[in-house]
Amino acid sequence: MDFTNPAPLSIPTMLFNLMIGLLLSILLAMYYARLGDSLSNRSKFAPILPLLTMITLLVISVVKSSLALSLGLVGALSIVRFRTAIKDPEELIFLFFAIAIGLGLGADQRIPTLIAFLVMMTYLLVRKIINKTLRLSPQDSLYLNISLPLQATSDKTAFDFINRLLGEELSSMDLRRFDTDGKEMRLVYYFKTRTAEALARIADRIHEQYSDAAISIVEQNNLLGG
């Protein structure tokens, strides 16, 4: 067996696999952009999924016929370092999904890849429908920005009041920023809610306690942040 000369690569087969991979990855990207739960900028992240799938498919198609190329690929990848961390688990899952499509089609496993794609996409769609129908997960991803004057109270008193209030009205919350200069306290919370009534109650109770408080609520599903 000659390990140095790779077997000929079938261009029509590779093009056919690329077309299938492009179609599947576009469907994946459309789902992620429109129905994903990630807080990152999904509209900018989704278009890289088809490209990632096709790159993976090309690499596997080239190296699968040559042991020498396969070993060279292992050596090349061993020195690659990616410095950008993936903070959102959903982003990581969809990256692996796109890579898996490329791996499967690059290895000419079209039927198993198609079946696996249909099963996983069906699961994602059914889960989304069930969550929306039964309201198992909050629908809105919001940032609450609060600015409080501190002339008549201390930082701890105001902070305890806000945390207690949000704990009563919301099922979950996450403090993202805390700033104070002794005269004003600025708080930024990330939270999810199912009803607008809770937001109205929060604003009313804060203004009852601090009439000069400034409150803003921003929906940030498709903005980079979080």
Same domain, 19 and 64: yes
pLDDT tens-digit series, residues 124-162: 999 888 877 775 555 456 788 888 887 656 677 888 888
Same domain, 34 and 124: yes
Rounded to whole angstroms, how far apart are CA atoms 147 and 213? 6
Q: Are 209 and 149 in contact (CB under 8 A)?
A: no
User: Which among 183, 166, 211 has a CA at the least distance from the CA of 175?
Assistant: 166
Same domain, 103 and 30: yes
Same domain, 34 and 115: yes
Domain endpoint, select from 102, 117, 134: 134
Same domain, 119 and 34: yes
Rounded to whole angstroms, how far apart are CA atoms 33 and 218? 20
Rounded to whole angstroms, how far apart are CA atoms 53 and 15? 13
CATH number for the domain spanning 201: value is 3.30.70.120
pLDDT tens-digit series, residues 67-125: 666 666 655 555 555 556 666 778 889 999 999 999 999 888 999 999 999 999 999 99
Write out the residue range of the structural domain in which residue 165 sits. Answer: 140-219
The distance of Cα 70 from the centroid of its chain, to the nearest Å, equals 32
Same domain, 45 and 91: yes
User: Which among 57, 93, 67, 47 has a CA at the least distance from the CA of 5?
Assistant: 67
Domain count, the chain: 2
Q: Are 183 and 149 in contact (CB under 8 A)?
A: yes
